[in-house]
Amino acid sequence: LGAGGLIRAYSQSASQTIENAQLATLVNYDRLQLIFDYSLIDKLKYFIEKQKAVVMETNYQTKVQAVILVETSDSKNFQKRLIDLFSGRIIVKKINEEPRPSIIENE
Write down the pLDDT at residue 95: 96
Distance CA 87, CA 26 (A): 34
What's the pTM value of the predicted model, to 2 decimals?
A: 0.74
Tens digit of each residue's pLDDT, the chain (107 residues): 677 788 888 788 888 888 877 788 899 999 999 999 999 999 999 999 998 899 999 999 999 999 999 999 999 999 999 999 999 899 999 999 999 888 777 65
What per-residue confidence (pLDDT) applies to 30? 97
- State in words which class domain 24-103 has: alpha beta
Q: Residue 36: what are its φ and ψ, rounded to 5°?
A: -155, 170
Phi, psi of 23 (to 5 degrees): -85, 145
User: Residue ranges per domain, the chain?
Assistant: 24-103
Instruction: Return d(Cα 81, Cα 89) in angstroms, integer.
Output: 12
Number of CB atoms found within 10 A of residue 55's CB: 14
pLDDT at 8: 84
Cα distance between residue 14 and residue 18, in whole Å: 6
